[in-house]
Amino acid sequence: MKVIQGSVSVLRALVMAGAMTLTACAGGTAGPAGAQQAAPFLGRLPEDEVIYFVMPDRFENGDPSNDRGGLEGGPLETGFDPTRKGFYHGGDLAGLTAQLDYIQGLGATAIWLTPIFENKPVQGPPGAESSGCHGYWIADFTNVDPHLGTREEFRAFVEAAHARGMKVYMDIITNHTADVIKYEECHGLSAPTEAREQGVCPYRSLGDYPFTTLGRPGGAPLNEGFLGLDARDLTEENFARLTRPDYAYTPFVPSGEEAVKTPAWLNNPIHYHNRGDTSFEGENSRLGDFAGLDDLMTESPAVVAGMIEIYKRWITDYRVDGFRIDTARHSDLEGGLIALSRMLPGDDVEYLIVFNADMSDREINLPVDGRARNWVSAYGTCAAQARAPGSYSVSVPALDFVICHSDLTECGA
Q: What is the pLDDT of residues 80-100, one digit of tens each?
A: 999 999 999 999 999 999 999
pLDDT score, position 332: 62
Residue 243 within any structural domain of the chain? no
Burial of 302 (0-12, 13-18, 19+ CB in 10 A): middle
Q: How far is CA 280 from CA 138, 148, 231, 290, in A?
A: 21, 31, 21, 8
The answer to whether residues 355 and 19 touch, using CB atoms and an 8 Å cutoff, is: yes
Spatial separation of the C-alpha atoms in residues 67 and 74, rounded to whole Å = 12
Spatial separation of the C-alpha atoms in residues 173 and 310, rounded to whole Å = 11
Strand partners, 221: 213
| HEC-encoded secondary structure of the chain | CEECCCCCEECHHHHHHCEEEEEEECCCEECCCCCEECCHHHHCCHHHCEEEEECHHHCCCCCHHHCCCCCCCCHHHHCECCCCCCCECCCCHHHHHHCHHHHHHCCCCEEEECCCEEECCEECCCCCCEECCCCCCEEEEEEECCCCCCHHHHHHHHHHHHHCCCEEEEEECCCECCCCCEEHHHHCCCCCHHHHHHCCCECCCCCCCCCCECCCCCCCECCCCCCCCCHHHCCHHHHCCCCCCCCCCCEECCCCCCCCCECHHHHCHHHECCCCECCCCCCHHHHCEECCECEECCCCHHHHHHHHHHHHHHHHHHCCCEEEECCHHHCCHHHHHHHHHHHCCHHHEEEEECCCHHHCCCEEEEECCCCCCEEECCCCCEEEECCCCCEEEEECCCCCCCEECCCHHHHCC
User: Range of 316's domain?
Assistant: 2-175+302-411
pLDDT higher than threshold 80 for residue 47: no
Spatial separation of the C-alpha atoms in residues 142 and 261, rounded to whole Å = 10
pLDDT score, position 41: 83
pLDDT confidence bin for 263, thresholds 50/70/90? very high
Residue 266 within any structural domain of the chain? no
Spatial separation of the C-alpha atoms in residues 327 and 291, rounded to whole Å = 12
Of 19-33, 136-150, 209-223, the range with the lowest mean pLDDT is 19-33
pLDDT score, position 324: 79
Spatial separation of the C-alpha atoms in residues 82 and 55, rounded to whole Å = 15
- What is the value of pTM for the model shown? 0.78
Top-confidence range, 68-72, 108-112, 230-234, 393-397 = 68-72
pLDDT score, position 326: 79
Residue 281 within any structural domain of the chain? no
Mean pLDDT for 321-335 is 69
Give Cβ neighbours of residue 320 (< 8 Å, ≥ 6 apart): 158, 168, 169, 170, 314
Strand partners, 365: 393
Residue 288 within any structural domain of the chain? no
Query: Could you report the per-residue pLDDT of 270-311, keeping only the tens digit for each?
Result: 999 999 999 888 899 889 998 899 999 999 999 988 988 898
Of 9-18, 59-68, 374-383, the range with the lowest mean pLDDT is 9-18
pLDDT confidence bin for 410, thresholds 50/70/90? very low
Query: How many residues in total does the chain contain?
Result: 413
pLDDT higher than threshold 70 for residue 78: yes
Short-list 156, 164, 143, 149, CA closest to 32: 156
Strand partners, 29: 37
Integer-rounded Cα radius of gyration of the chain: 21
Short-list 271, 192, 267, CA closest to 239: 271
Residue 394 within any structural domain of the chain? yes
Q: Where residue 96 sits, what CATH number does that domain have?
A: 3.20.20
Mean pLDDT for 375-389 is 30
Mean pLDDT for 56-72 is 97
pLDDT higher than threshold 80 for residue 317: yes
Can you say how many angstroms the Cα of residue 405 is from the centroid of all Cα atoms in its chain?
19
Residue 350 within any structural domain of the chain? yes
The answer to whether residues 394 and 383 touch, using CB atoms and an 8 Å cutoff, is: yes
Q: How far is CA 70 from CA 37, 82, 140, 142, 228, in A?
A: 38, 16, 15, 17, 43
pLDDT higher than threshold 60 for residue 366: no
pLDDT score, position 372: 37
More confident site: 40 or 148: 148
Of 164-173, 224-233, 257-266, 339-348, the range with the lowest mean pLDDT is 339-348
**How much is the mean pLDDT over the chain?**
76
Give Cβ neighbours of residue 413 (< 8 Å, ≥ 6 apart): 134, 136
The answer to whether residues 2 and 380 touch, using CB atoms and an 8 Å cutoff, is: no
More confident site: 203 or 328: 203
pLDDT confidence bin for 44, thresholds 50/70/90? confident
Domain count within the chain: 1
Percent of the chain with pLDDT over 70: 70
pLDDT score, position 291: 85
Residue 256 within any structural domain of the chain? no
pLDDT score, position 30: 36
Residue 287 within any structural domain of the chain? no
pLDDT score, position 403: 25
For the beta carbon of residue 336, count every other beta carbon within 10 angstroms.
22
pLDDT score, position 328: 65
pLDDT score, position 321: 85
The CA dihedral of 199, 205, 206, 209, to the nearest 10 degrees, is: -70
